[in-house]
Amino acid sequence: MDPNSIFRTRYYSFSRILMKFVGIWPYHTTTSKVLIFVILLPLSITTAYPQGRYLVQTTNINDLFKGLTSMVLTIIITYQLVIMTMYHAKIKVCFKRIEDDWLSLKTDIEKTILQRHTEYGQYLSKVYAALITFTPVSYLLKPVIMTLIESENSTTPSLAKLPYYVDYGEKWNDQFALLMLHCSVAIVIHSIIIVTINSFYYAAIQHACGMFAIIG
């Protein structure tokens, strides 16, 4: 049986799309995985350097803690991406087990139970994705809102309008558009990675719950 057949159904469509985008889909070719990883890794981690540079120089304790939080999140999310990519073989084993479980079902009642749990896992993933979306949207709206509310005589530095507390150095600090693009791409990538990994967890956990429900 084609190992992708079960995972092409609507029960896994949301997780499948996300995992393919992030490069942790277990049935990707090695070339595809490496290519996606090489693209996403720098987009995810490169904001950590200007964030760290800012933290070293700032004397404002509030900015220090706010900046430290975002930098730690950047590192953790990138670490999760690396780990999930490194352990793609274990993910494939997990998917193979899910496939075998589906094939082992003998009655329509058993299939209905597992379908219900799988659909619930996808529902949780979509709700989680919707909630997570508020975070990047709020970050991306920050420069727009600050620009609208500032007065003509405002002396607010352009870097203060960026989503992150960053310092790119004298050579780049005046390139607001490029820096905003860099931060925005990182925020979107981080959000997608978080949703993807948790969507996989939801799918796996709900599958296990479904199998336990079948056993009784």
> pTM of this prediction?
0.86
Tell me how far apart the alpha carbons of residues 62 and 70 are, in angstroms, rounded to a whole number: 13
Q: Which amino acid is at 160?
A: A
> Which residue, chain included where needed, has tokens 């820096």?
179
Asked whether residue 137 carries a pLDDT value surpassing 50, the answer given is yes
Give residue 63's pLDDT: 83
- Supply angle C-alpha 92, 97, 99, rounded to 5: 95
Give residue 169's pLDDT: 83
Tell me how far apart the alpha carbons of residues 21 and 207 are, in angstroms, rounded to a whole number: 22
Task: List pLDDT tens digits, range 71-105.
Answer: 999 999 999 999 999 999 999 999 999 999 999 99
Task: List pLDDT tens digits, range 146-197.
Answer: 766 765 555 566 777 788 888 888 777 778 888 888 988 999 999 999 999 9
- The conformation of residue 10, written as its DSSP 8-state character, comes to T
Confirm if 190 and 44 have CB atoms less than 8 A apart: yes
Cβ atoms < 10 Å from Cβ of 36: 18
Cα distance between the two ends of the chain: 28
Question: Any alpha helices (H) in the chain, and if so which ranges?
Answer: 13-22, 30-45, 48-57, 61-86, 88-104, 108-149, 176-215
Long-range contacts of 13-19 (CB under 8 A, 24+ apart): 13/122, 14/122, 14/125, 14/126, 14/129, 14/199, 15/122, 15/125, 15/196, 15/199, 15/200, 15/202, 15/203, 18/192, 18/195, 18/196, 18/199, 19/196, 19/199, 19/200
Asked whether residue 208 carries a pLDDT value surpassing 80, the answer given is yes
Confirm if 51 and 67 have CB atoms less than 8 A apart: yes
Task: List pLDDT tens digits, range 2-18.
Answer: 555 788 888 899 999 99
- The conformation of residue 174, written as its DSSP 8-state character, comes to T
Asked whether residue 121 carries a pLDDT value surpassing 70, the answer given is yes
